[in-house]
A and B are shown apart, each in its own frame.
Chain A
């Protein structure tokens, strides 16, 4: 894991001191709300329905036990005992008092964390594949490049006041687990014919009120040009992105209006003009950062664990956990374990201080002190010996953290919605809870198989509903909550945006509508091996619309 050097420490400490003074001046009345609002947003603080919300960056979703324990401490000391992991792999505290925020930021700085650029029209937290560094299908670990981008973009004077927010993701495996095609820039690590590592560059993706998938504007970018090319894209966006209309200000709109070929030409021209030694990444610098992300020393083990296999044979609950929540590791005899934050009937993405402390202990004991946050609002222990998985499972079960539903119908992605958010037009959490309870019986969820349901409480799409196999968008119609449903979305390497089924459903109707969709899938699928998305892509929307609306 990257560790701050003296510059980083001074940089973050100075920022905390600066913000402490700004809060003092605001509370004393020396700054107006209009003057203060952009300053608090630059430090990740929003005013929500009931309180301030503090959004803390978790760069590329990587946490240490020490950081996790600090988050637990903050949850208990300054909040109501829990935090919410988001689809941007950040954590939000929904009950932070403004007067406490400088102290919270001070606490965070003590463990090399901050909230800089978690809001505002700047380059946001750079995200990566949550299995990075452990996945068997990985070309290269994307996190060193995320860290290089993070360092370069932090308080970058030219890119701190962009037309709109700007999100970058880097994926290092053939399987896209970072949703790169719904980012402003998505970098996919690739290997060219000469065996050199580089990136394919995808620009102009995003969700929100105008969902669009990114276009590939370069098939191969050498690693050393990562910053120079990112700079070229941002130069084009900064110059040409619209500032007159915030709803048309994202780079996806610019790309949509000018066309991918024109943007490609503009970016290549900027790249050619400004490519210079100062933005070229020396191989030594890449290697220096890569060293922070080296695979931990994992003792050699047999590929097959008898302890693991035996427990699967005698314990159906464990076998289910092993099937759903344990993924192959690049090192034989190890697994990547997903910790579901989706207990049946719970709030997706929420973790209590006790959960966080338990996971910090388990990460130290079983996962070389590494924890990851996923954009699907779960946590991951990335380096667990298969021999240890049974004991880990028992310990997780004792903490109510062994829900075996990763990737299943009850693993619902969900924004905070109208229960917390000022922008929301409808609640999303109660819908997620009702769906999970409807499908919570293990045998039924297993019969349905892989199914990603994503719920947003407004058109800003923090719950990524456009790329849910089943997407649910909460709206307000004539004073009542209403829920539109989209089908067929996906955020992986075969990305697609969901298609609207038809008129919205009431809050009381929407769970039944989801059940109708699921029942229709079970009828039309060719076999149990054909998952929901494959079946939908084969048969199209009509059988589902017919089941939902009949002749209406």
Chain B
């Protein structure tokens, strides 16, 4: 049985996974896969430590499958956490109207939304 470890990032609540190449990754594709029970337990302990250090909240293990190198969560709940809502919540937002401030500024990182920024900077986790 394959598992990954997931949590929500403290400062914005984003879904994160213990990463293969960085402590935490924003995409399931970049999550570290645990095949061994002892290793999973150790990973959860480490994740709990990050929770105590106020980096993430509510770390937990998530059962996944891997086919042709693609990870997929087993439960619908976790698939929705990994991929976002199954509905198109943006379908009525196409009409371009200027930002109320006139600045066009948004608090959301466009790279993050497009999936390009898939790692939490290691410096923020030190």
Question: What is B's interface to A at a CB cutoff of 8 Å?
Answer: 8, 10-15, 51-54, 57-58, 74-77, 80-81, 84-87, 89-93, 95, 97, 99-101, 105-108
Chain A 311-357 residues near chain B, CB threshold 8 A: 343, 346-347, 350, 352-355, 357
State the main secondary structure of chain A at its contact with B.
mixed
Chain A 83-98 residues near chain B, CB threshold 8 A: 95-98
CA of A72 to CA of B100 in the docked complex: distance in angstroms?
8
A350 touching B89 by the CB < 8 A rule? yes
A419 touching B10 by the CB < 8 A rule? no
CA of A26 to CA of B52 in the docked complex: distance in angstroms?
11
Q: Which of A7-15, A43-51, A246-254, A445-453 contacts B (4 or more CB under 8 A)?
A: A43-51
CA of A357 to CA of B85 in the docked complex: distance in angstroms?
25
Chain A 407-435 residues near chain B, CB threshold 8 A: 418-420, 427, 429-430, 433
B80 touching A418 by the CB < 8 A rule? yes
Q: Which listed residue, B10, B15, B53, B100, touches A49 by the CB 8 Å rule?
A: B15
Q: Which listed residue, A32, A48, A82, A476, touches B13 by the CB 8 Å rule?
A: A48
The 7 closest A-B pairs by CB, nearest first: A97-B12, A73-B100, A419-B85, A29-B54, A51-B13, A52-B13, A99-B11
B57 touching A47 by the CB < 8 A rule? yes
Q: Which listed residue, B8, B11, B93, touches A352 by the CB 8 Å rule?
A: B93
Q: Mark A12-51, 1 if CB is under 8 A from B, else 0.
A: 0000000000000011110011000000000000011111
* Chain A residues within an 8 Å CB radius of B89: 80, 82, 347, 350
A353 touching B85 by the CB < 8 A rule? no
CA of A43 to CA of B93 in the docked complex: distance in angstroms?
28
Q: A29-B53, A77-B106, A354-B97 are in contact. List 17 more A-B contacts (CB 8 A).
A: A28-B54, A33-B57, A47-B57, A49-B15, A52-B13, A73-B101, A76-B106, A77-B99, A77-B101, A77-B105, A82-B93, A97-B13, A98-B12, A99-B11, A346-B91, A430-B87, A479-B75
CA of A52 to CA of B11 in the docked complex: distance in angstroms?
9
B86 touching A430 by the CB < 8 A rule? yes
Q: Which listed residue, A27, A95, A96, A347, touches B54 by the CB 8 Å rule?
A: A27
* Chain B residues within an 8 Å CB radius of A353: 93, 97, 100
CA of A108 to CA of B74 in the docked complex: distance in angstroms?
40
B77 touching A26 by the CB < 8 A rule? no
Chain A 468-493 residues near chain B, CB threshold 8 A: 476, 479, 481
B75 touching A346 by the CB < 8 A rule? no
Q: Which listed residue, A27, A50, A52, touches B81 by the CB 8 Å rule?
A: A50
A81 lies within 8 A of chain B by Cβ: yes
Q: Which listed residue, B58, B91, B97, B101, touches A357 by the CB 8 Å rule?
A: B97
A365 lies within 8 A of chain B by Cβ: no
CA of A428 to CA of B3 in the docked complex: distance in angstroms?
28
Q: Identify the closest chain B residue to A350 (Cβ).
A: B89
What would 17 A/B residue contacts be, using CB atoms closer than 8 Å? A28-B54, A29-B53, A33-B57, A49-B15, A49-B80, A49-B81, A51-B12, A69-B100, A96-B13, A97-B107, A98-B12, A98-B13, A347-B87, A350-B92, A352-B92, A479-B75, A481-B76
Q: Mark A46-83, 1 if CB is under 8 A from B, else 0.
A: 01111110000000000000000100110011101110
CA of A418 to CA of B77 in the docked complex: distance in angstroms?
7
A400 lies within 8 A of chain B by Cβ: yes
Number of A-B residue pairs with CB-CB distance less than 8 Å in the complex they form: 112
A100 lies within 8 A of chain B by Cβ: yes
* Chain B residues within an 8 Å CB radius of A27: 10-11, 54
CA of A33 to CA of B7 in the docked complex: distance in angstroms?
13
- A541 CB to closest chain B CB, in angstroms? 31
* Chain B residues within an 8 Å CB radius of A77: 99-101, 105-107
B14 touching A50 by the CB < 8 A rule? yes
* Chain B residues within an 8 Å CB radius of A343: 92
CA of A77 to CA of B101 in the docked complex: distance in angstroms?
9
CA of A346 to CA of B93 in the docked complex: distance in angstroms?
12
CA of A81 to CA of B52 in the docked complex: distance in angstroms?
33
CA of A36 to CA of B55 in the docked complex: distance in angstroms?
14
B100 touching A419 by the CB < 8 A rule? no
* Chain A residues within an 8 Å CB radius of B108: 80, 95
* Chain A residues within an 8 Å CB radius of B8: 47, 51
A26 touching B76 by the CB < 8 A rule? no
* Chain A residues within an 8 Å CB radius of B12: 51-52, 97-100
- A104 CB to closest chain B CB, in angstroms? 9
* Chain A residues within an 8 Å CB radius of B13: 47-48, 50-52, 96-98
B10 touching A26 by the CB < 8 A rule? yes
Q: Which listed residue, A48, A354, A418, A479, touches B93 by the CB 8 Å rule?
A: A354
CA of A54 to CA of B92 in the docked complex: distance in angstroms?
21
CA of A98 to CA of B107 in the docked complex: distance in angstroms?
12
* Chain B residues within an 8 Å CB radius of A32: 52
